[in-house]
Amino acid sequence: MDGVTEAIVLAGGLGTRLRPLVAEVPKVLAPIQGVPFLSYLLSYIHHQGVQRVVLALGYLADKVTEWLSTQAWPLQVIPCVEPEPLGTGGAIAYAFAFTEAQMVAVLNGDTFFPIDLAAFWAFHQQERVPLSIALAQVSPADRYGVVEVAHKRAQAFREKQPRPEGWIYGGIALVERTWWQAQPWPAKFSWEEYLMHAVPTLPVGAFLAEGVPFIDIGVPQDYQRAQTLIPQYARL
């Protein structure tokens, strides 16, 4: 089947930076205008044509599964609880066993970046790469490591430093199953650190999502901004 039909959502983060504002629930359930952020994220995923979502859970997983039991979604949602903290990469590897599609989208559960997944999929198919990442343009880019891009490929991740603007990893990737399963992944690792080290040698497609807002709800100032921005772009 064409298009993005299956996704992993990384929803097991500790949310330490957000605890002064949201202390009793995992950040994926942090309220946006009184509605858990996960509602907006799943709604976005559904309206992009995804039919099956594996939720990679960790910290306060019981809170998420309890909330899920009260919901009805027009797509299949499979909770997957890691046995111990595995890092973002380990969480993807653990959740991948619960997926079925030949190409899987991986999304951060604490960022909102409502790109056109069909356009991202078409880009990925055209580039014929094992992995593609969607990049957001932010200004200023001081608190992010930016991605250098050439010829539709990610060339390098650069360390944080004062920059008026830049392209950053927006927390959405497309991963080919055959490639993923051929890799000797460690049990615990950081997906972001893997990307930083792999990009210079691995052909990674870089999809530039111009004009698409990006918010990291795990950062207090962005969480406050999310209260007005996310409801403008998400359909519930």
Report the pLDDT averaged over residues 105-128. 97
- Judge whether residue 20 has pLDDT over 80: no
Most confident of 13-17, 117-121, 141-145: 117-121
94: helix, coil or strand? helix
Q: Is residue 55 part of a domain?
A: yes
pLDDT for 14 equals 60
Report the pLDDT averaged over residues 72-88. 94
pLDDT for 24 equals 72
Q: Is residue 90 part of a domain?
A: yes
Tokens (6 digits) for 137: 């343009």
Q: Is residue 175 part of a domain?
A: yes
pLDDT single digits (tens) 24-61: 778 899 999 999 999 999 999 999 999 999 999 998 89
pLDDT for 236 equals 73
pLDDT for 19 equals 54
User: 24 or 19: whose pLDDT is higher?
Assistant: 24
On whether the CB atoms of residues 148 and 195 are closer than 8 A, the answer is no
Q: Is residue 1 part of a domain?
A: no
Instruction: Find the CATH number of the domain harbouring 30.
Output: 3.90.550.10
pLDDT for 199 equals 93
Q: Where are the beta strands (DSSP E) in the chain?
A: 6-10, 31-32, 35-36, 52-57, 76-81, 103-108, 111-112, 131-138, 146-150, 153-158, 166-176, 204-209, 215-216
pLDDT single digits (tens) 175-218: 999 999 999 999 999 999 999 999 989 999 999 999 999 999 88
- pTM equals 0.94
Closest CA to 191 of 111, 99, 107: 107
Q: What angle do CA 213, 177, 102 make, to 5 degrees?
A: 85
pLDDT confidence of 15, banded at 50, 70, 90? low
Q: Could you tell me which residues come within 8 angstroms of residue 71 by beta carbon, excluding any fewer than 6 positions away?
A: 39
Share of the chain above pLDDT 90, in %: 78
Q: How far is CA 159 from the centre of its chain?
A: 20
91: helix, coil or strand? helix
Burial string for 66-93 (b: 16+ CB within 10 Å, else e) reads: ebbeeeeeebebebbebeeebbbbbbbb
Q: Is residue 136 part of a domain?
A: yes
Cis ω for the linkage preceding 162 (within 30 of 0)? no
Q: Is residue 78 part of a domain?
A: yes
- Measured CA to CA, the distance from residue 222 to residue 52 in angstroms comes to 28
Q: Number of structural domains, the chain?
A: 1
Q: Is residue 19 part of a domain?
A: yes
- Measured CA to CA, the distance from residue 236 to residue 231 in angstroms comes to 9
- Judge whether residue 99 has pLDDT over 60: yes
Closest CA to 1 of 132, 120, 100, 139: 100
pLDDT confidence of 63, banded at 50, 70, 90? very high
pLDDT confidence of 23, banded at 50, 70, 90? low
- Judge whether residue 75 has pLDDT over 80: yes
- Measured CA to CA, the distance from residue 131 to residue 115 in angstroms comes to 17
- Measured CA to CA, the distance from residue 17 to residue 7 in angstroms comes to 26
Q: Is residue 222 part of a domain?
A: yes
- Judge whether residue 83 has pLDDT over 80: yes
Residue 94: domain span: 6-233
